[in-house]
Chains A and B, each alone.
Chain A
Amino acid sequence: MIDTGIFFLYLAVMAGVTYLIRMIPLVLCREKIKSRFIRSFLYYVPYAVLSAMTIPAIFYSTAGLLSAVLGLTAAVILSLFEKKLLTVAIGACCTVFVVECIQKLF
């Protein structure tokens, strides 16, 4: 059992660092950035971050590789038709669920 005081000390440091990282840029950058390079960079970065976070992590997000690949396929197809986020998320989850249920049968 960890001492409660020690726990709160760690908690404060952990939450504090995490919050400052989020807060400082949001509070300091209050003007629109003029530099064309930086604006271009900021335009691309979000998509790059999301892509890097998805591949290859998505392949290991379910019980098995096959269900993950088919879940990803479902998500890609639904997204190409520009379905809502919730629709895409539920579609992928259902695909994974059904594939894993079928796999258990064999």
Chain B
Amino acid sequence: MDKKSLFVRGLRDGIPICLGYLSVSFAFGIFTVGQGLTIWQAILISMTNVTSAGQLAGVPIIVGGLPLVEMVLTQFVINLRYSLMSVSLSQKMSKRVKLLQRFVIAFGVTDEIFAVSISQKEDLETPYMYGLITAPIAGWTLGTALGAIAGDILPTAVVSALGIALYAMFVAIVIPPSKKDKAVAGCCLVAMVLSALFYYVPVLSQVSKGIAIIVCALVSGVIFAVLCPVPDKEENEKKEVQA
């Protein structure tokens, strides 16, 4: 496939993410202005961070004038999951992706962009990744601006309905491979149970969301890497990734 059609395909794959981001960042815009930051400050935060949980945690730190160390630690813990995703993505990058291009692509590693990337059958090429991150970043910034400017532009029923978009997308990414590979299904089940425990069990629910996700992923990932390791041969590995 040539560069242009790869870019267009990425762009197209990014549209559902963009739609989902509009509602989430809309809420972030409302929240941030409500906390006392200006419209432009809200937009700048979204443009430079592109991460929901980290931004939500970061705004009160800015507004409260808390120590910068606290900002570093909070962002580190909440966003550490991106490291796991980047390691995974690094294994799926085509040989043609240049070092400098990796610096650019890294900026767009979000939960959803990562999810769509790893669900691709082929190795990831630069134009595809550029296309994929364009619409979501635009949507993320635009949604923040809209939310910050006018919290009541969208009826609440629409905001509520859009709220499920990103999760529905995760479901769409996880279920097809779970149908084909029982080990993936098992791994997902273990992760869900652990995640529910972190949410509902009194002491565990004190743990920050970022850490909880990392623990869930590490534990279920290690269990299944030991119990059901992927086949050793290069050929089989390709099939595994596609399955």
A residues in contact (CB < 8 Å) with B:
1-2, 6-7, 9-11, 13-15, 17-19, 21-30, 32-33, 36-58, 61-63, 67-68, 71-72, 74-76, 78-80, 82-86, 88-94, 96-97, 100-101
Contact = CB atoms under 8 A, between A and B. Distances in A.
Majority SS at the chain B contact face? helix
Contacts of B169: 85, 88-89
Given A11-B48, A43-B240, A80 B175 contact: yes
Contacts of B206: none
A85 B13 contact: yes
Given A26-B102, A56-B196, A17 B71 contact: yes
Interface residues on B, range: 35 or more
Nearest to B176: A82
Majority SS at the chain A contact face? helix
A67 B160 contact: yes
B212 A54 contact: no
A25 to B, nearest CB: 4
Contact of B106 (A13, A22, A39): A22
Contacts of A43: 225, 230, 240-241
Contacts of B50: 18
B137 interface: no
B173 interface: yes
Interface in B90-125: 90-91, 93, 99, 102-103, 105-107, 109, 111, 114-116, 118
Interface of B: 13, 15-16, 19-20, 36-37, 41, 44-45, 48-51, 54-55, 58, 61-63, 65, 68, 71-72, 75-76, 79-91, 93, 99, 102-103, 105-107, 109, 111, 114-116, 118, 156-158, 160-179, 183-184, 187-192, 194-196, 199-200, 212-213, 216-218, 220-222, 224-226, 228-230, 232, 237, 240-241
